Amino acid sequence: MLIRQRTTTTLRTPGPPPAVHAALALVAAGAARGATRDQLLAFLGAPSTAAPAALARRVSQRVLGDGRGYRTLGGPHVLFGGGVWVDDSPGGLTDAFRGIAAESYNSQRVQTVSFTDEPKEAVKTINESVKKATNSLIDGIICESDVVGVATDIVLANVVYFKGVWQHSFHPHGTWPGTFFCLDGSHAEASFMTAFGTIWIACLDGFKVLKLPYMPWRLVMCEEVQEFRSYEARYSMLVFLPDARDGITAMVDVVTAAPASLQGILDQMTERTVRVKLPKFEISFKWDDLEVDLRRLGLSLPFSTEEANLRGMRVADDIIAEGDEQQRRPMSLRKVAHMAVVKVSEAGSEGGELNSYLRGRPELTPDFVEFVADRPFTFLIQEE
């Protein structure tokens, strides 16, 4: 959905990201009322507040389950930095909102800070939380100008740190220099990882999709509630490569044409013998004006300083809602920011070692597919 909104930029990113989706789901389930709640539910595609609460719970516990007493065995390490910060000047959070936050979103990710009296300290608190959660990979996500001198009620800020190793890694000795062709007609030198083996791939009209699985991990315990849970998480990187050097825009339009388009593409994947040539790369992407795109897609009421109805979040607002609603301006979302850092190398995403490699000799298998990513491509990391 949001990927199609970014048609004027050369960088496309799927969205809304799961962490952002979960944060909006929490606001819908625990804070929003009236027309604001209805608009949030419509945007999230949810029939009632129970659905987004369940989604937020699943994303928090499974997709982003990492530092809350869960113990994992092997596979990717997913760290979530961020959450919901609410101005504390009009009072604390309501018991109802705290209950939903604790059950569905992890209460540690919903905090009160003083945007009104100590905005610089509030920014420091948010950025230190992000830095700690991502092992100092990301120093921060918002700056003082975002909140200083402006009426700030709520900030949603999310960062996802993903560390994984390939189920079958690329051999370091198979990495060679090569030429990468850019959209503007120029080219650059890059280090290309190469491999040959049996891989899941879909060969479609105008583009190919390659699936590179990560080592799975198993969730075995939640010490906070002394609850045993067995859940195996499997992640894969899906690489979308257009046949033409300038075909990325047309390819993205096909992939994002409808919510079911991506799944329809993935259903066509089969195991084939593939020769892969994929550049090592690192991408840092900060989406600090996310509210602009959300507004363009029809989600405007939560950001309106005149019409937002988020009175289920703070005690003072909940009391006013029962009396004269004109006593104070409505509380509204001030900032929605998301940041992601992805580094891809022979071992996987952001480090790790594994001694099982994709290997083989293409001359012994004449019917193989070439997947040479020497032109602009896009990718996503999927939790299956």
Q: Give residue 74's pLDDT.
A: 54
- Residue with tokens 């004027």, as numbered in its chain: 8
pLDDT of residue 189: 96
- Average pLDDT for 322-329: 51
List residues bridging with 230 in a β-sheet. Answer: none
Average pLDDT over residues 317-331: 55
The rounded distance, in Å, linking the Cα atoms of 169 and 339 is 26
Q: pTM for this structure?
A: 0.72
Res 7 pLDDT > 90: no
**Which CATH number fits the domain 2-164+284-341, given the four candidates 3.40.50.10490, 3.40.50.150, 3.40.50.2020, 3.30.497.10?**
3.30.497.10
Q: How far is it, in rounded angstroms, from Cα 56 to Cα 189?
A: 42
Beta bridge partners of 73: 218
| Domain 166-279+355-383 indexed as CATH 2.40.40.20 | no
Q: How far is CA 99 from CA 102, 310, 313, in A?
A: 5, 16, 11
The pLDDT of 368-377, averaged and rounded, is 94
Please state, as a whole number, how many other Cβ atoms lie within 10 Å of the Cβ of residue 53.
Answer: 22
Res. 25: pLDDT tops 90: no
pLDDT for the residue 12: 38
Q: Is the pLDDT of residue 215 over 70?
A: yes
Q: What are phi and psi of 94, to 5 degrees?
A: -70, 155
Q: What does the pLDDT read at residue 112? A: 83
CA distances from 260 to 38, 46, 266, 348 (A): 24, 16, 10, 28
Q: Give the pLDDT of residue 80.
A: 66
Stretch(es) of the chain classified as CATH 2.30.39.10: 166-279+355-383
What the block records as the tokens of 195 is 């491999």
Burial of residue 267 (CB within 10 Å: 0-12, 13-18, 19+) is exposed
- Give yes or no for a contact between 82 and 60, defined as CB atoms under 8 angstroms apart: no
For the chain, residues classed under CATH 3.30.497.10 are 2-164+284-341
β-bridge mates for residue 52, sequence order: none
The CA distance from 222 to 47, in Å, is 30
Whether the ω angle into residue 259 lies within 30 degrees of 0, i.e. cis, is no
Q: Is 169 helix (H, G, I), strand (E, B) or coil?
A: strand
